[in-house]
Structure formats: C-alpha cells, structure tokens
Amino acid sequence: MGICPHRFGPAGKPIEFKGDLADIPAFLKSIGLNAMEYEAVRGVNIKKENAEVFGQKARENDVLLSLHGPYYINLASPEEKTVQASVRRIYESLRASHWMGAYAVVIHTGYYGDLNPSEAIRLAIKGYKEALEQAWSDGYVFPSVSPETTGKTTQIGTVEEVVKICLSLGKKCRPTVDWAHIYARTKGELIQKVDDVIKIIEYIESNLGKDAVSPLHTHFSKIEFGKGGEREHHTLEEELYGPSFDVVVKAYKEVGVTGTFISESPILEKDALLMKKICEDIY
C-alpha cells in the first residue's frame, strides 16, 4: 500500500453529517477526506459572510473546495433571456467561489437544441466570456471556470468541446472531467481500458498545458446509461454498472497527474473513502 497523491471528497453535504455548513470541513478531515464540491445546483444562494467562514474552515482543515453551478444554465439557448440568466448564474457562481476560495466553478454549458455543435460552442464561449469579464471587473479574480464533460448526447460537453471552450477562454478555464459521463455518453465504449483514460488526459494536457491538469478536476461514480447517454449515478459496489475506478486511477498514476476526485455516488463520502482506499492499494 502506497501513498495516494489525489484528493477525495463528496459532491455536497456528506450524507452522514448533520449540522452547519461551516462544520463540514472538520468532519471531512476527521474521516480522512480533503476535498468538497459545494453544490449550488438549484441556485447560488449563499451569503458572502457564510461563504467566507466556510472557506476559512476549509483552509484550516486542508479541504480543497470547488463549486458546482446551477443546473438551469443554457448558454446556447435561442431565448436571449435564458442566455442572460445563464450568464448571471455563472457570474454568481464565480463570485461565491471567490468568497469561499473554491478553485474550480463547475458548469454544465447547455444544450445544442437545433444548432450544429460548432455554432452552439461559439455561443457558449461568448457567454462564458461575458460572465468572466463581469466577475473580473468586480474584482472576483480567484476561481477558474470549469466546464464539465456531460453525460447526455443532447448536452454540450464532449471532451473535445470542453477543450475548445477552455482554449478560447485562456488561463481561467480548467476542464471538469466526469469519467462516468464520458462512459455513458459513449455507451460504455470508452473508459474500459487504462489507455482510454490516458489518451484523454494527454489530449487535455497537450492542448491546455500542465496547469489544466494540476490538479485535474474530476467527478466519479458508476453510472447507468440508455440510448441518449446518462440515466442515473450508482455506487462503486454495484457490479452491473461501470466504469471501473481502478482503470481511472491506474491511468492517473501512469501519466503522473494528480486529481481532485469528487464522488457523485448516491453514498457520497462513503464512496469517496472507497476510492481513496482503491487508490492506496494501487500506488
């Protein structure tokens, strides 16, 4: 058993934790975890003061924070009102992340609708730029926006698309790689072999540079898929579903990148701990 170099933590409030947000980091440290994604998926409602206290406690307990922005975002919507509301939600996510010191702001970019993918990406880049520029001009300069690889074929967010968005946005963009989503989107064709994962990491690094993968912001769980891709997230112990965490962590080891692994399993922190254990067995 070796030393696992990655960070692990839950997507949102741990299921076994009862209490205030500010006390979560100490709880995570006590069970052996050191990352957390704050879930603002239904809207960014946190107040500045609470975000700052939470961020302070996270730093004191060596818990690296990220923030997941609202689901109601569609930068490629044909409705101008929806696009403007989406830009606003990304701005609010960046602002809250600056307050709490969250390094990555995870965003689902939106849907192709009737557009061809390249037109949808063009609109997405325009929206991200607006949100970033607004955040910077208000002094919220810390966090990186982090478009996520998505699980459904209707959603913007193949690996190539996420890289393309980040290339246009420059240094303040880092990808969120969700291996379950990539597996679901390709209907289990990819993320079967260590080499599948290595190729994707190397593609990201060769296009976006070392910073984008130091650490590589990562989501993991097992997943069920159908014709259109993602259906439901599952726990690591459910043998019916993939991908295998071993495959992913072996690839990180081989390439030599470190990751922040956020568990999106139904049993959040418990699977984060199982991932950590699998990692220790592999290193």
| Span near Zn ion by CB under 5 A; candidates 22-30, 146-154, 156-164, 251-259 | 146-154
3-state secondary structure 26-49: HHHHHHCCCEEEEECCCCCCCCHH
What would you report as the CA-atom Rg of the chain, rounded to the nearest whole angstrom? 18
Among the listed ranges 119-127, 143-151, 167-175, 249-257, the one in contact with Zn ion (CB under 5 A) is: 143-151
Residue 217 C-beta: closest distance to Zn ion, Å? 11
Window of 115-123, 141-149, 164-172, 187-195 that interacts with Zn ion by CB under 5 A:
141-149
Stretch that binds Zn ion, among 72-80, 145-153, 220-228, 275-283 (CB under 5 A): 145-153
Length of the chain: 283
According to the 3-state scheme, what is the secondary structure of 144-198?
Answer: EEEEECCCECCECCCHHHHHHHHHHHHHHECCEEEHHHHHHHCCCCCCCCHHHHH
Nearest approach in angstroms of CB 60 to Zn ion is 27
Give min distance, CB of 107 to Zn ion, in A: 8
Could you say which of 37, 92, 130, 148 contacts Zn ion (CB under 5 A)? 148
Question: With respect to Zn ion, which residue has the nearer C-beta, 148 or 161?
Answer: 148
Joined tokens for residue 121: 């990406």
Q: Tell me how far apart the alpha carbons of residues 157 and 108 are, in angstroms, rounded to a whole number.
A: 8
Q: Is 271 in the site for Zn ion (CB under 5 A)?
A: no
Burial of 248 (0-12, 13-18, 19+ CB in 10 A): buried
Does residue number 230 form part of the binding site for Zn ion (CB under 5 A)?
Answer: no
The CB-of-39 to Zn ion minimum distance in angstroms stands at: 9
Instruction: Return the residue nearest Zn ion (CB atom).
Output: 148
Q: Tell me, by CB under 5 A, how many residues bind Zn ion.
A: 1
Separation between Cα atoms, residue 38 and residue 56, nearest integer Å = 14
Q: Should residue 92 be labelled a site residue for Zn ion when binding is judged by CB under 5 A? A: no
- Binding interface with Zn ion (CB under 5 A): 148
